[in-house]
Amino acid sequence: MSISELATVYGSARRQRILATLVTRGVLAAFCWWSVLSFAQTCWDGCTRVYVTKNGDTLYDIAASYLRDPSDWRVVSELNRLPLPRLLRPGISLRLPVRLLKQVSLTARAIAVNGPVERAFRNGAFIPLSVGTALGEGDRLRTGHNGFATFELNDGSHIVLAQDSSIDIDSLRQTMLTGSVDRVFGLQHGEVTSEVSHALKRDDRFQIRSPSVVAGVRGTQFRVSYNATDLSTAVTVLNGAVGVDAAGHLAPPAGQPLQASAKLIPKNFGNVTRASGEVGAAVGLLPAPTLQQPGKLQGAVAITFDLVPQADARAWKVAIARDAGMLDLIQDSRVTAPQASFENLSDGSYFVRVSAIDSHGLEGMPRVYAFERRLFGLEASANARAAGRDYQFKWYVSKQSEATHFRFVLAKSPSLADPLIDKTDLQGGELVVKDLPQGVYYWTVIAERFEGGRLYEADSTVRSFTLAR
């Protein structure tokens, strides 16, 4: 059933049957959203808000404080059948038309900035953005390669701008008396992830607009990605529901009634709108992939993540952040094989988010893992001595500390079970093993370091050699 059909039958005798059907299909929440929009439309022309007069109030004062145009006191006078705007007695309930109410500017705040991120106001020059900077209507943000930015709105909603992206704050304002908030952002290229507060009121507006679509939401988490090459926009919904319209769909001005969208994309679905302008159909998102060895200490120079392959995945997105909510992003990578590598990450505790990308180019549901980064940079080698039955094993770490000790293990099997040699608490970088009989051997070196009351271990690759006579 289309959204227009839902709007038509809402309030009719068939309502109960349709609501029951929607419940069984798991889309009641989405329907309730659209019913709210329908209400906003029907009440708009006659919508008013009540203002109760106080001591000293006049129609002049009230119009100057709450209306966009102070001369509209005449409208209030006529609507409420009041005489000339002289002093009003306190306690009068005045009706003020919503369409005439004043709007005040709101601000957002940059809470995370990493890599090359710049800000400009309208047509002004771009300058570097720093954490704590206040942002408002008319501001433009752009990120370079490995640049990420997150800003927080006054209601706790978050906008996360990915690398190589650009977004404009087109509208960020609140209507007097009603308290309704208008938030409209223009994505020029790249990707943005929105986490919208569930505190939104029924006449609030939150939209991400790309050159090809308008995505409007109420209390949800979703991504919008615009490809400037083929003029396509991908919308993926992680929670809640998103209404998607073609860019030609003109949204009403701030504070005016919202309208039902062409497509409603529910949780775990997405769509792609191509340059033709027709809004794409909803497509189920790929499930979150699984990370192999999620608890592995990242101790090598290169940080690597191996994923369990997925049959329908065409690529994978892997991102690193300092927080579990992935608001403080520092690196991300798109790979076509189920392995991603990163470098230049200092020691610490981090989080990695993994998601699969399907044949439509839609990024699927994410999964987040915690991991520890402790750079050891452990390298090891072995060489036969002149005697032929002696072997010299060497190792070193690129980041040495007094707390680093080593363990050497030599065995006859790749699993290193039942080791022939297992030496612990070694502090040097060399060990000679004498009089080895012929055969195949496997060995590794494990670096150990105590930090903050915890033991961290990093092992070298299990290597092998054959000793023959």
The pLDDT tens digits of the residues spanning 185-233 come to 999 999 999 999 876 777 789 999 999 999 998 678 999 999 988 899 9
Instruction: Give the whole-angstrom CA distance, residue 371 versus residue 456.
Output: 12
Close Cβ partners of 463 (under 8 Å, ≥ 6 residues apart): 380, 382, 442, 443, 444
Mean pLDDT calculated for residue range 256-262: 56
Mean pLDDT of the chain: 86
Dihedral of CA 208/212/213/214: which sign?
Answer: positive
Q: Of the candidates 316, 351, 373, which is a domain's last residue? A: 373
Q: Is residue 49 part of a domain?
A: no
pLDDT confidence tier of residue 400, bands split at 50, 70 and 90: low
Question: Does position 160 have pLDDT exceeding 60, yes or no?
Answer: yes
Q: Of the candidates 335, 355, 373, which is a domain's last residue? A: 373
- At 300 the pLDDT is 86
178 and 197 housed in the same domain = yes
Q: Is residue 97 part of a domain?
A: no
Question: Does position 105 have pLDDT exceeding 90, yes or no?
Answer: yes
- At 378 the pLDDT is 87
60 and 156 housed in the same domain = no
Strands 181-195 and 205-209, bridge-based pairing: parallel
Question: Does position 127 have pLDDT exceeding 90, yes or no?
Answer: yes
Mean pLDDT calculated for residue range 369-393: 85
Q: Is residue 258 part of a domain?
A: yes
Instruction: Give the whole-angstrom CA distance, residue 218 versus residue 136.
Output: 21
- At 402 the pLDDT is 59
- At 3 the pLDDT is 39
- At 189 the pLDDT is 96
Question: Does position 248 have pLDDT exceeding 90, yes or no?
Answer: no
Close Cβ partners of 13 (under 8 Å, ≥ 6 residues apart): none
Question: Does position 441 have pLDDT exceeding 80, yes or no?
Answer: yes
Alpha helices in 189-231 (DSSP H): none
Exposure on the CB side of residue 129, measured as CA atoms within 13 A: 31
For 282, which DSSP code? P
130 and 80 housed in the same domain = no
Question: Does position 90 have pLDDT exceeding 50, yes or no?
Answer: yes
- At 379 the pLDDT is 87
Question: Does position 385 have pLDDT exceeding 90, yes or no?
Answer: no
- At 26 the pLDDT is 38
pLDDT digits (tens, 9 = 90+) for 24-53: 343 444 434 433 333 334 444 468 899 999
Q: Is residue 96 part of a domain?
A: no
Amino acid at 352: V
Task: Say which CATH number the domain at 363 has.
Answer: 2.60.40.10
Instruction: Give the whole-angstrom CA distance, residue 227 versus residue 315.
Output: 17
pLDDT confidence tier of residue 403, bands split at 50, 70 and 90: low
The mean-pLDDT minimum among 68-72, 127-131, 218-222 falls in 218-222
130 and 275 housed in the same domain = yes
297 and 431 housed in the same domain = no
170 and 263 housed in the same domain = yes
Q: Which helix (H) or strand (E) holds 37?
A: helix 28-43
Q: Is residue 98 part of a domain?
A: no
Instruction: Give the whole-angstrom CA distance, residue 173 versus residue 150.
Output: 19
249 and 120 housed in the same domain = yes
Q: What is the DSSP string of 118-184?
A: EEEETTS--EE--TT-EEETTEEEEE-TT-EEEEE-TTS-EEEE-TT-EEEEEEEEEETTT--EEEE
Mean pLDDT calculated for residue range 301-329: 96
Amino acid at 139: D
pLDDT confidence tier of residue 84, bands split at 50, 70 and 90: confident
Question: Does position 6 have pLDDT exceeding 60, yes or no?
Answer: no
59 and 153 housed in the same domain = no
Q: Is residue 151 part of a domain?
A: yes
Mean pLDDT calculated for residue range 357-373: 97
**What is the per-residue burial (b if ≥16 Cβ within 10 Å, else e) of 282-307?**
bbebbebbebeeeeeebbbeebebeb
Question: Does position 249 have pLDDT exceeding 80, yes or no?
Answer: no
Domain membership of residue 65 as a residue range: 54-91
Structure tokens given for 415:
């699993």
Q: Of the candidates 336, 358, 373, which is a domain's last residue? A: 373
The mean-pLDDT minimum among 95-99, 163-167, 194-198, 350-354 falls in 194-198
Structure tokens given for 241:
């529901």
Q: Compute CA distances 117 → 125, 160, 225, 420, whole Å.
A: 13, 12, 18, 55
Count of other CB atoms within 10 angstroms of residue 97? 16
Q: Is residue 183 part of a domain?
A: yes
- At 261 the pLDDT is 64
Question: Does position 319 have pLDDT exceeding 70, yes or no?
Answer: yes
70 and 156 housed in the same domain = no
246 and 264 housed in the same domain = yes
pLDDT confidence tier of residue 360, bands split at 50, 70 and 90: very high
Q: Where is pLDDT greater, at 37 or 421?
A: 421
Per the structure, the count of domains in the chain is 5
CB 224 within 8 A of CB 187: yes
Return the top range by mean pLDDT from 42-51, 53-62, 239-248, 319-328.
Answer: 319-328
- At 459 the pLDDT is 86
123 and 269 housed in the same domain = yes
Q: What is the dihedral of CA 144, 147, 148, 153, to 10 degrees?
A: -50
Instruction: Give the whole-angstrom CA distance, residue 420 versus residue 426.
Output: 17
195 and 276 housed in the same domain = yes
Q: Is residue 273 part of a domain?
A: yes
